[in-house]
Amino acid sequence: DAGVIQSPRHEVTEMGQEVTLRCKPISGHNSLFWYRQTMMRGLELLIYFNNNVPIDDSGMPEDRFSAKMPNASFSTLKIQPSEPRDSAVYFCASSIFGQGGEQYFGPGTRLTVT
Amino acid sequence: DQQVKQNSPSLSVQEGRISILNCDYTNSMFDYFLWYKKYPAEGPTFLISISSIKDKNEDGRFTVFLNKSAKHLSLHIVPSQPGDSAVYFCAAGQDNNDMRFGAGTRLTVKP
């Protein structure tokens, strides 16, 4: 199994541009999570989906952030317009709902907004 | 609003000694707790877990202790090895799904 796949691994963009981060969860997993890691706040949960349905998006910082999961094997996190304070590492994780809470993380996307 | 707190951003121990990483949580509804380990340029990986019905869980050199009345858990690594050097995240949640993470503690094990 390839694990959780995220792309791109690194993204550098200018303020105001649209950024789209992509995630492919582990096959068979029905929960998907988006996190942001910063020095100050550690791992923040942005949004999570169960069976492709958004369950809790209270962690999404602003309307500039949006996430979709059109099917069980793909999710996107979009930032439009991007700002320098969005610079962070964004992780996607997947799990099997109700089975121990263990989540499998992707390698992350390091986003730099200049 | 940080529901899970790791108040020590870093910890340094000598190889062979015990490492103790601490974590506090505020939500009394949390019933499942996990520790993750993260190496640079990689995503966090699951290390060990404990449910609220237990106060201790052991896996090799790693032991997690849970004190529900104090809303506190700790991870003990003994003996510590240089390969244990990483960032350790504590996570807590309810119903085994929506987990909240702490800010992490960077452990350095010196040879």
- How do residues B29-85 score in pLDDT, each as one tens digit? 999 999 999 999 899 999 999 999 999 999 999 999 999 999 999 999 999 999 999
Does the beta-carbon distance from B32 to A99 stay under 8 Å?
no
Is residue B7 a contact partner of residue B22, using CB atoms and an 8 Å limit?
yes
- Residue A97: pLDDT band by 50, 70, 90 thresholds? confident
pLDDT at B2: 79
Q: Between residues 32 and 61 of chain A, which touch chain B (CB distance below 8 Å)?
A: 35, 40-45, 48, 50, 55-56
Q: Check pLDDT > 90 for residue A2.
A: no
Predicted confidence band of residue B96 (pLDDT cuts 50, 70, 90): low
Contact A43 B93 (CB under 8 A): no
Q: pLDDT for A60-75, tens place per residue?
A: 988 999 999 999 999 9
Give the one of A41, A98, A108 whose C-beta lies nearest to B43's C-beta.
A108
CB-based contact, A23 to chain B, within 8 Å: no
Q: What is the mean pLDDT of chain A?
A: 93
pLDDT at A1: 63
A62 exposed, middle or buried (CB, 10 Å; 0-12, 13-18, 19+)? Answer: exposed
Q: Are B58 and B75 in contact (CB under 8 A)?
A: no
Asked if the Cβ–Cβ distance from A107 to B41 is below 8 Å, we say: yes
Model confidence pLDDT, tens digit, residues A8-42? 999 999 999 999 999 999 999 999 999 999 887 78
* Region of residue A16 (phi > 0: left; psi between -120 and 50: alpha; otherwise: beta): left
Residues on chain B touching A95 (C-beta within 8 angstroms): 97
Residue A89 tokens read as 């590492």
pLDDT at A99 over 80: no
Residue B49 has its nearest CB partner, among A40, A56, A101, at A101
